[in-house]
C-alpha cells in the first residue's frame, strides 16, 4: 500500500540554503567526492539571482575539518572526506555561485546543514518559515538538510535540477523519497513561482 502525500502550502518567506556547492564537491579534478555539476550550478545560479532580486535570505554550507576529533565516525565510514581539510581550498564555494559578503557560509562537519551549526537560529532571525534546499549531494547532505528542515517545522522545497549526486540511481531514489515524506520536490520554474 502506498503512502498518500500532498503538496505543502507555500511559506510566507523562503530562505535559500545552498548545500556544499564547494570545490570539494563540484570539481572532479580536485576531489574524489566531486561529480560533474555544471547543470546543477547553473540551476543554483538562477535561484540565487531570484532570491537576491527579492532580498530573500541566502545561506551556504560547506564541509571543513580542522581537528582529528571532528566527525570521527563519519570520516571513518567515508575516508574520502579527509580531503576536506580547512585551508585546503576545497571548502571554498565554487566561484560560479560565489556568496556575497552578506551571505553566510556555515562550516559543518556532518551531513546536515543544521547539525552542529546555528542555521535554525539564523533562519528564525531572518523570518523564514520555509526553505529551498539545493546543492550536493542529493543522497547525502541535501537529504539530511531537507529532513532536518522539516524537523524544524520549515516548509521545505527541493528543486530537482538544483541538486545532484555521484550516483544517478541514488539521486532518483532520494528525490522520490523526499517528495513522498519530507519536502516538495519541484522544478526550478515551480520553485521560482512560489517566490512571487
Whether residue 5 lies inside any domain: the answer is no
The pLDDT assigned to 28 comes to: 96
Task: Name the grid cell of 74.
Answer: 563519519
| Domain assignment of residue 8, yes or no | no
Please indicate, yes or no, if residue 166 is contained in any of the structural domains: yes
Amino acid 165: pLDDT: 97
Residue 44 included in any domain: yes
Average pLDDT value for residue range 1-16: 91
Q: What confidence score (pLDDT) does residue 3 get?
A: 75
pLDDT of residue 1: 59
Residue 20 lies in a domain: yes
Does pLDDT of 57 surpass 70?
yes
- Concatenating the DSSP letter of every residue in 4-55 gives P--PPPPPSSEEEEEE--BHHHH-TTT-TT----HHHHHHHHHHHHHHHHTT
pTM beyond cutoff 0.75: yes
CATH code where residue 63 lies: 3.40.50.850
Question: In the prediction, which pLDDT does 167 show?
Answer: 96
Each residue of 59-93: pLDDT tens digit?
Answer: 999 999 999 999 999 999 999 999 999 999 999 99
Q: How far from chain centre, in Å, is Cα 154?
A: 14
All 3 cell numbers of residue 36? 560533474
Question: In this structure, what C-alpha cell is assigned to residue 187?
Answer: 522544478
Distance between CA atoms of 188 and 163, rounded to whole angstroms? Answer: 10
d(CA 158, CA 187): 8
Give the chain's domain count.
1
How many residues in the chain? Answer: 196
- In 3-state terms, what secondary structure has residue 155? strand
Helix (H, G, I), strand (E, B) or coil at 186: strand
Does some domain include residue 47?
Answer: yes
pLDDT digits over 166-192, tens only?
999 999 999 999 999 999 999 999 999
pLDDT for 55 equals 98
Cβ 18 vs Cβ 58: under 8 Å: yes
Phi (first) and psi of residue 99, to 5 degrees: -70, 150
Active site residues: 141
- Which residues in 84-97 are b (16+ Cβ under 10 Å) and which e? beeebebbebbeeb
Rounded Cα distance, 9 and 54, in Å: 20
| Full domain range(s) for residue 35 | 14-194
Q: Rounded to the nearest 10 degrees, what angle do helices 168-181 and 143-151 cross at?
A: 10
Give yes or no for residue 2 having a pLDDT over 80. Answer: no
Range 20-45 average pLDDT: 97
Task: Read off the pLDDT of residues 109-163 as tens digits, 9 standing for 90 and up.
Answer: 999 999 999 999 999 999 999 999 999 999 999 999 999 999 999 999 999 999 9
Amino acid at each position: 500500500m502506498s503512502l498518500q502525500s500532498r503538496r505543502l502550502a507555500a511559506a510566507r518567506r523562503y530562505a535559500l540554503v545552498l548545500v556544499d556547492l564547494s570545490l570539494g564537491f563540484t570539481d572532479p579534478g580536485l576531489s574524489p567526492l566531486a561529480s560533474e555539476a555544471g547543470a546543477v550550478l547553473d540551476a543554483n545560479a538562477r535561484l540565487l539571482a531570484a532570491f537576491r532580486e527579492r532580498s530573500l535570505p541566502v545561506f551556504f554550507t560547506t564541509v571543513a575539518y580542522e581537528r582529528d576529533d571532528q566527525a570521527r565516525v563519519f570520516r571513518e565510514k567515508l575516508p574520502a572526506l579527509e580531503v576536506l581539510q580547512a585551508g585546503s581550498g576545497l571548502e571554498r564555494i565554487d566561484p560560479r555561485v560565489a556568496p556575497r559578503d552578506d551571505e553566510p557560509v556555515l562550516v559543518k562537519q556532518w551531513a546536515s546543514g543544521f547539525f552542529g551549526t546555528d542555521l535554525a537560529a539564523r533562519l528564525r532571525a531572518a523570518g523564514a518559515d520555509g526553505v529551498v534546499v539545493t546543492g550536493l549531494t542529493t543522497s547525502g547532505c541535501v537529504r539530511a538538510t531537507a529532513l532536518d528542515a522539516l524537523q524544524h517545522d520549515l516548509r521545505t522545497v527541493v528543486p530537482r535540477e538544483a541538486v545532484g549526486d555521484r550516483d544517478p540511481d541514488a539521486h532518483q531514489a532520494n528525490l522520490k523519497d523526499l517528495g513522498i515524506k519530507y519536502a516538495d520536490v519541484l522544478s526550478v520554474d515551480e520553485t521560482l513561482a512560489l517566490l512571487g
